[in-house]
Amino acid sequence: MAGERLLLVEDNPQNRRLAQFLLKAHGYLVYEATTGEEALELARAHLPELILMDLQLPGVDGYAVTRWLKEDATTAAIPVVALTAYAMQGDREKALAAGCVGYIAKPIDTKGFPAAVQHYLAPPRAQGEGASS
């Protein structure tokens, strides 16, 4: 169901524009952050339903930003999905260890991206450990 508010953390303007375009077309409201500090600020201010986190950011990387979000009681329950160009299993594990619920591979697959996002917004019923809102 569309209308959910997402926070997109991505420093690359082309990736950001593409993700924003695809998500907006599917009815999502998307806040944009280009740095970790901005991400934290927007997450606290808007409490989005989901955060899409580029792992490679200038300054503080996405792993550290995810850990900040998870350590902050205000934002800890918001699921964070890593956006990663890394194909290595170790990096995916690192993202999960930082607190991400999963990852979406870059380059962004224009057909599959909205469905991948939707998947994390509406996890299967068996996955009941998260917040129910």
Q: With H, G, I as helix, E, B as strand and everything else as coil, classify residue 63.
A: helix
Scanning 21-29, 47-55, 98-106, 107-115 for contacts with Mn ion by CB under 5 A, the matching segment is 47-55
Among 18, 56, 86, 102, binds Mn ion (CB under 5 A): 56
Supply 116's token pair.
């991948």
Q: Does 61 bind Mn ion (CB under 5 A)?
A: no
47 vs 116, which CB is nearer to Mn ion?
116
Identify any residues that bridge with 84 across adjacent strands, giving them in sequence order: 105
Helix (H) or strand (E) holding 103: strand 102-105
4 vs 54, which CB is nearer to Mn ion?
54
For residue 99, give the amino acid letter. Answer: G
* Site size with Mn ion, rule: CB under 5 A: 4
What's the chain's length in residues? 133
4 vs 100, which CB is nearer to Mn ion?
100
What is the distance between the alpha carbons of residues 108 and 56, in angstroms, rounded to a whole number? 15
9 vs 50, which CB is nearer to Mn ion?
9
12 vs 118, which CB is nearer to Mn ion?
12
Supply 103's token pair.
């990852």
Nearest-approach distance from CB 38 to Mn ion, in angstroms: 13
Strand-strand pairing, 102-105 and 50-54: unpaired
Q: Does 54 bind Mn ion (CB under 5 A)?
A: yes
Helix (H) or strand (E) holding 53: strand 50-54
Scanning 11-19, 26-34, 41-49, 80-88 for contacts with Mn ion by CB under 5 A, the matching segment is 11-19
Question: Which residues contribute to the site for Mn ion (CB under 5 A)?
Answer: 11-12, 54, 56
